[in-house]
Amino acid sequence: MRVDPITMQVIRNALVSAAEEMRVALVKTAHNPLIYEVQDFAVGLLTTHGEMLAEGTSLPLFLACLPATIENGLKKYGSDGFKPGDIVVANDPYTTGTHISDTAIYMPIFYWGELVAFSANMAHWADVGGKSPGGWCPDSTDVHQEGMLFPHLKLYEEGRLNETLMDFILANTRFPQLVRGDLGAQIAACRTGGLRYVTLCEKHGAETVRDAMEFVFDQSEALMRRLIRAMPDGEWSAESCLDHDGVEKTRRRKIRVTVRIQRDELIVDFTGTDETASGPVNLPLIGARAAAEIAIKSVTVPHEPSNAGYGRPLKVISPPHTLTNPSRPAPCDSFGYAALLIIDLVSEALSNAVPDRCPAGEYMLFGGWLYRSDPRFGKPFIYIDPVCGGGGALPFDDGADGLIFHGDGDAPNTPVEVAETRYPVRIDRYEFHSEEYGIGKFRGGLGTIRDYRVVTDNIYIQIANEQTVCRPHGLQGGHPGGINRLVVWPGKKKEQVLTERIAHFGPFNTDEVISCRTAGGAGCGDPLERDPDRVRWEVLNELLTSEKAKEYYGVIIRTGEEGEPIVNRETTEAYRAALRVR
């Protein structure tokens, strides 16, 4: 059945709107600020084969893992194994792509007795009962240490709640009220998507909706193939290392990416990547493909809503038993470091083909958990807060200042007001970190400094940072980015700079401070080509001193009559010329 272009576009936009309504439902009903403020989740509508139809504004990495999640559910149950009213819970990293805390909830959508689509979401639970509070185990040595595994289990079967499974979940989490509330919010989001999809079928017919989206898939695939065909054929590689795997803490872990462009097909090959790690930095193949998809789409069609068609020209190769294709029961809880590094490396490799589109490396992942799990010392709580840092410079502009890592898209972090209201902390300082970034014609984005003052006793932290040793890569002569630091008890005799990932550190008592200092991104282009007016603006806004302006960029700044910085252009040109011939 052929669908006219207007109807096709109406249906496409209606599905995007439905997915966005799913997102709103989840945000409005969740209990944990990690979901309703930080928005650590993804929502989408998918075909009966697990192809992405439409997504809400949410985490790119989760979105790219939802199709494989549904596909693996179909492998278990078959399309005939789903009934109206079923709701499935899944978090097995080897079938969902990330780690156990990221729990997928999905439901089949039926119209007149026929399975027509799936409504799905994935969200980070506050705790999944692993060996460390907060659903994150930086030193796990197998996946079973990381928490409860749900291998696509039916939480609801034909509309009836599986009370035994629900009781099991709540008995095995340290924060049952939070988990129960967020689980209910995920179910509400799925049902919202199902209702909107059925309404669309009632208006246009299920066959018309299906045919319209097949047309959209074909269009998207054709566009992506056309964009790939416009790139030069070739093969380019990039590699970098993770600081360590959380267990063998003196050993760097290498990821190597080779990008091949062959006519209208793009291949990402992880051959040369290190073998499976002892610690939890392993990334299941589903997640490795998802990270590659994010990088490629951001370079080709960044502003278009995603759907299954864009991924069709992409092939991923990853040898088994490696960091990017581990085998059960290898631990995966710190998967995010590998995923984010893959995004950077694919972009770095592609910069050889399309140098005008690819950013330099970013600050990577930096997060902190503050918690109290022992009720003897007060009410238990868990505060999970990803900290913003600097984005990599672009070939045409500076990197983004104070932005969340790119695997999380445009997700915010926890607002100061919410943190201070919900948790026993005070945010003493939240400002740009202007000392750790890569210079270039366009500089890396600035990181941030966020200081948490504890206002009660017996608080512990988990430390989730990367690139404390290995720096993000620069491009086209730009300098590498900075490194991340976590400073505890700053200014005190017992001050420490922590670079390891630690599951249980403390205790911290009243008035003691934890300072997160994230890195800036890497630079792009020769620093001596930076616009002097940009340098002047940074000096004016106290992001740079006059001395650093000269050292970094060869720009000579003098002070005007009213104390304002002024570029001495003739001296600057002469000084830069002298630097170039050295």
Helices and strands in the chain: count of H runs, count of E runs: 13, 22
Average pLDDT over residues 298-326: 95
Token couple for 576: 């830069």
Q: What pLDDT is attached to residue 406? A: 75
Contacts 24+ apart (CB under 8 A), 569-578: 569/532, 572/532, 575/550, 576/528
User: Which has more confidence, 305 or 509?
Assistant: 509
Token couple for 318: 């990853």
Judge contact between 441 and 524, C-beta under 8 A: yes
With a cut of 90, say whether residue 467 has pLDDT above it. Answer: no
Look up tokens 């209208």; give the residue.
Answer: 264
Question: Of all residues in the chain, what percent are helix, strand and coil, respectively (each to 5)?
Answer: 35, 25, 40
Q: Name the nearest CA neighbour of 133 among 180, 179, 174, 178.
A: 174
Residue 123, strand partner residues:
41, 103
Judge contact between 479 and 522, C-beta under 8 A: yes
Split at pLDDT 50, 70, 90, the class of 366 is confident
Average pLDDT over residues 264-290: 97
Q: What pLDDT is attached to residue 343? A: 96
pTM for the model: 0.94
Q: What pLDDT is attached to residue 147? A: 95
pLDDT digits (tens, 9 = 90+) for 128-164: 998 888 777 889 999 999 999 999 999 999 999 999 9
Judge contact between 523 and 478, C-beta under 8 A: yes
C-beta atoms surrounding 20 within 10 Å: 18
Q: Distances in Å between the alpha carbon of 310 and those of 244, 294, 406?
A: 34, 11, 19
pLDDT digits (tens, 9 = 90+) for 53-86: 999 988 999 999 999 999 999 999 999 999 999 9
Nearby residues of 573 by Cβ (< 8 Å), 6 or more positions away: none
With a cut of 90, say whether residue 532 has pLDDT above it. Answer: yes
- Of the chain, the percentage scoring pLDDT greater than 90 comes to 83
With a cut of 80, say whether residue 254 has pLDDT above it. Answer: yes
3-state SS string for 165-186: HHHHHHHCCCCHHHHHHHHHHH
Judge contact between 279 and 331, C-beta under 8 A: yes
Average pLDDT over residues 299-315: 93
With a cut of 80, say whether residue 411 has pLDDT above it. Answer: no
Judge contact between 537 and 549, C-beta under 8 A: no
Using DSSP's 3-state secondary structure scheme, residue 408 falls into helix
Token couple for 185: 């919010």
Q: Distances in Å between the alpha carbon of 83 and those of 116, 137, 166?
A: 12, 36, 20
With a cut of 90, say whether residue 305 has pLDDT above it. Answer: no
Q: What pLDDT is attached to residue 1? A: 59
Question: Distance between CA atoms of 13 and 19, rounded to whole angstroms?
Answer: 10
With a cut of 90, say whether residue 316 has pLDDT above it. Answer: yes
pLDDT digits (tens, 9 = 90+) for 344-359: 999 999 999 999 999 9
Question: Distance between CA atoms of 428 and 484, rounded to whole angstroms?
Answer: 19
Mean per-residue pLDDT over the chain, rounded: 94
Average pLDDT over residues 202-224: 95
With a cut of 80, say whether residue 582 has pLDDT above it. Answer: no
Look up tokens 């659903």; give the residue.
Answer: 135
Split at pLDDT 50, 70, 90, the class of 340 is very high
**Bridging pattern class, strands 513-517 and 485-488:** antiparallel
Domain ranges of the chain: 5-220, 359-529, 531-580
Residue 84, strand partner residues:
none
Q: Name the nearest CA neighbour of 166 among 75, 87, 101, 76.
A: 87
Q: What pLDDT is attached to residue 162? A: 98
